[in-house]
Structure 1
């Protein structure tokens, strides 16, 4: 019997360059979460109302949408590595500018700039990893993006907690007279600069090099990094890449169009995968979990502990996903995840229907509070082991070579727009009824199940040139 592809050896060099690319995902997670510890202090410092405070938090998501949209064309013109360097510069500028902001206007501007970097990283990392990875390990290596994201979220939460504890509060002064919340933002300069320095050390994508007719460089990457053995194997691979790339044309939105001006079906699949990943409400757990648990009877200390435990849970299940994605396949994991999210979100909606009181006085009687807590963590497990990493893997590999970068940009932009929509509407929905909010997310989980079952192709073990 033929030896399964998933048991083939993955070259160490390809693992290392995938880790470097995934550092963009770490910054993605860090930048998204670091605002959590600074929110109250920023509100007090600049005297912000709830609407302006909410926009200060969510404006980075609008920047991410733009960054995702622009990164594909930039990566095709200048290369994946140069685009990573641009993202590194944007992260660094945002960290320094946000930390030294003298008013809410420039804080919003710097947060928006950082969001552009986040959006770029959300496209560049999965595209680059998919293009340098062997087919048999592409799922595991692509999942490093999601692992890096959740690690970035976790490190940001720990950094915020540490700085607030040292200063005696996020609004208290620390080194050089700067408040702790400013150092929370400034701390991002360390991974941002490191990302740029390491990006200078990784090779360009072989598919980009072939598209630019730099065949010698492409052959070297295929041998030294991807691990192809033999001159003929390298030449065959280059020929396969050339057959799927129109090197004389720049990718653009017109390349995503099928008949009658409609987007190609595969592009719609990517867009809907991105939208469903956000519409199930996962970021409500990470953006609002502390205030959510406080609102239903847990004290501040317990709420923060629950948030950290949830973040750790997300890391653990992402590791599980990395172990399973090339063995089980992409589609079965998504189906299982949709079922798990549907059930856990349904239980959460049921729990909150038992809430007593209104507004800030709402509480959950026992045992409903504990059941809601368990259901929330089962939701994180269901998402983190499936939809979290698998969608990024699929977006990096499911599109044909000739449209990959620009199609991924469109799908990622849709994801950030969906994220913005969910993030900004949750407080409004929560004011009406938390049962309504989680019931709506459960409905989207049901739709995601039907969508995956009917439309999402399996890409396990396929070469990118066969997509």
Structure 2
């Protein structure tokens, strides 16, 4: 639910000139959360003397790692009570004064509020909102823009980004890295993820979404191809040869950096703003669902694929990164600087 509501809400309250940057905060929150969680996991592991099944507070260490997630979940729930309602929703239910107040807060006092309210109201009255019945009817899925959103979501996951996070510790342990050190390497990857996200936040409203996506795809192809090459070598005493080991480590960080400065951010920005008003919520919901299904498919398949051939697995991810380039060039339109009411 949060993955649907977050980008939709940000897109609705953000001024067009800053919408990409503000939409990037969704991904920034995710990557900072990943980094903090890995740092906490590293601390828990050290407290349990490096044993993931060691006892800590009457539980095994891995159980403590899961349990501490209650804290950010509670904070998320409490903080959700203080955010203002979307002005577009308020206008749709006739609360124009409150909508004006929020528009003043988010777009500034110099904005012609009457014109903005009239513009939004006119767009909502002239468009029929897609309902659940419309979804079941099937006509919704004949709209190309819906499939473009699904494509963006699937490509974002099929490059294997979550393998880099869900299995990072296990992956490094499999090539001979000490369990405690493997958690440290996972944390450095998260720092690179944050750096890439900050780069995207700086440039997403300056150069646009499509250029960032293409730059990121090229960088991911390079990083993933190098990982495929490194893992094609036989292990020596349970470890990769020194050269291949270092290349695998550097390539993993290159991959994460280019993903973070591109697809990690621009997909959420695109999904929040690319759909017409009348289908935005429904289309974003479908695209997010496709993203989670793709996430599951990659996550569930990786252990079997890695046992089969780890190098070939990275070749598959490389292929999807390469295919994402013509997909963006042919099907994805730039949304930089456009008002949501202009999306058609």
The two structures have a TM-score, normalised by structure 1, of 0.69
Of 218, 227, 237, the residue aligned with 2:116 is 237
Q: Which moved more, 1:438-447 or 1:244-253?
A: 244-253
Please name the residue that 1:414 is paired with: 290
Please name the residue that 2:152 is paired with: 273
Please name the residue that 1:264 is paired with: 143
Please name the residue that 2:82 is paired with: 201
- Cα distance, 1:203 vs structure 2: 1.1
Q: Structure 1 residue 333 and structure 2 residue 209: aligned? A: no
Please name the residue that 1:27 is paired with: none
Work out whether residues 278 and 422 of structure 1, in 8 Å CA contact, stay in contact via their aligned partners in 2: yes
Of 241, 248, 257, the residue aligned with 1:381 is 257
- Cα distance, 1:413 vs structure 2: 0.4
Work out whether residues 137 and 326 of structure 1, in 8 Å CA contact, stay in contact via their aligned partners in 2: yes
List aligned pairs for 1:84-99, cutoff 5 A.
none
Of 31, 47, 50, the residue aligned with 1:150 is 31
Deviation readout 1:262-313 (Å, 9 max, x if unpaired): 4311111110000000000011111112221222233333322211111111
Work out whether residues 45 and 180 of structure 2, in 8 Å CA contact, stay in contact via their aligned partners in 1: no
Please name the residue that 1:24 is paired with: none
Work out whether residues 140 and 323 of structure 1, in 8 Å CA contact, stay in contact via their aligned partners in 2: yes
Go from structure 1 to structure 2 and tell me whether the alpha carbon gap of 1:317 and 1:260 turns closer, same or farther (over 3 Å shift): closer
Of 92, 95, 115, the residue aligned with 1:211 is 92
Q: Structure 1 residue 297 and structure 2 residue 173: aligned? A: no
Work out whether residues 211 and 247 of structure 1, in 8 Å CA contact, stay in contact via their aligned partners in 2: no
Work out whether residues 266 and 399 of structure 1, in 8 Å CA contact, stay in contact via their aligned partners in 2: yes
Go from structure 1 to structure 2 and tell me whether the alpha carbon gap of 1:167 and 1:348 turns closer, same or farther (over 3 Å shift): closer
Please name the residue that 1:435 is paired with: 311
- Cα distance, 1:391 vs structure 2: 0.6
Q: Following TM superposition, where does structure 1 have runs of at least 4 consecutive aligned residues deviating by more than 6 angstroms?
A: 256-261
List aligned pairs for 1:122-201, cutoff 5 A.
122-168=3-49, 169-175=51-57, 177-201=58-82
> Paired residues, what number?
342
Go from structure 1 to structure 2 and tell me whether the alpha carbon gap of 1:331 and 1:154 turns closer, same or farther (over 3 Å shift): same
Counterpart-to-counterpart distance in 2, 1:254 and 1:247: 19
Deviation readout 1:321-354 (Å, 9 max, x if unpaired): 1111111110000000111111221121122222
The two structures have a TM-score, normalised by structure 2, of 0.92
Counterpart-to-counterpart distance in 1, 2:55 and 2:178: 26
Of 304, 315, 318, the residue aligned with 2:197 is 318
Q: Structure 1 residue 446 and structure 2 residue 322: aligned? A: yes
Q: Structure 1 residue 403 and structure 2 residue 279: aligned? A: yes
The alignment partner of 1:245 has SS state of helix
Counterpart-to-counterpart distance in 2, 1:456 and 1:285: 26
Counterpart-to-counterpart distance in 2, 1:256 and 1:298: 49
Of 262, 271, 287, the residue aligned with 2:166 is 287
Go from structure 1 to structure 2 and tell me whether the alpha carbon gap of 1:428 and 1:246 turns closer, same or farther (over 3 Å shift): farther
Go from structure 1 to structure 2 and tell me whether the alpha carbon gap of 1:143 and 1:286 turns closer, same or farther (over 3 Å shift): same
Counterpart-to-counterpart distance in 2, 1:201 and 1:408: 24
Go from structure 1 to structure 2 and tell me whether the alpha carbon gap of 1:296 and 1:167 turns closer, same or farther (over 3 Å shift): closer
Q: Structure 1 residue 252 and structure 2 residue 252: aligned? A: no
List aligned pairs for 1:347-386, cutoff 5 A.
347-356=226-235, 363-386=239-262
Q: Which moved more, 1:345-354 or 1:332-341?
A: 345-354
Counterpart-to-counterpart distance in 2, 1:387 and 1:461: 19
Q: Which moved more, 1:162-171 or 1:307-316?
A: 162-171
Work out whether residues 269 and 456 of structure 1, in 8 Å CA contact, stay in contact via their aligned partners in 2: yes
Go from structure 1 to structure 2 and tell me whether the alpha carbon gap of 1:375 and 1:205 turns closer, same or farther (over 3 Å shift): same
The alignment partner of 1:458 has SS state of coil
Work out whether residues 151 and 315 of structure 1, in 8 Å CA contact, stay in contact via their aligned partners in 2: yes
Work out whether residues 156 and 263 of structure 2, in 8 Å CA contact, stay in contact via their aligned partners in 1: yes
Please name the residue that 1:5 is paired with: none
List aligned pairs for 1:30-179, cutoff 5 A.
120-168=1-49, 169-175=51-57, 177-179=58-60
Work out whether residues 127 and 405 of structure 1, in 8 Å CA contact, stay in contact via their aligned partners in 2: yes
- Cα distance, 1:247 vs structure 2: 8.8
- Cα distance, 1:207 vs structure 2: 1.0
- Cα distance, 1:167 vs structure 2: 4.3
Q: Flag structure 1 segments of 5+ consecutive residues without an equivalent.
A: 1-119
- Cα distance, 1:179 vs structure 2: 4.6
Deviation readout 1:126-164 (Å, 9 max, x if unpaired): 111111111111111100111100111111111222233
Q: Flag structure 2 segments of 5+ consecutive residues without an equivalent.
A: none
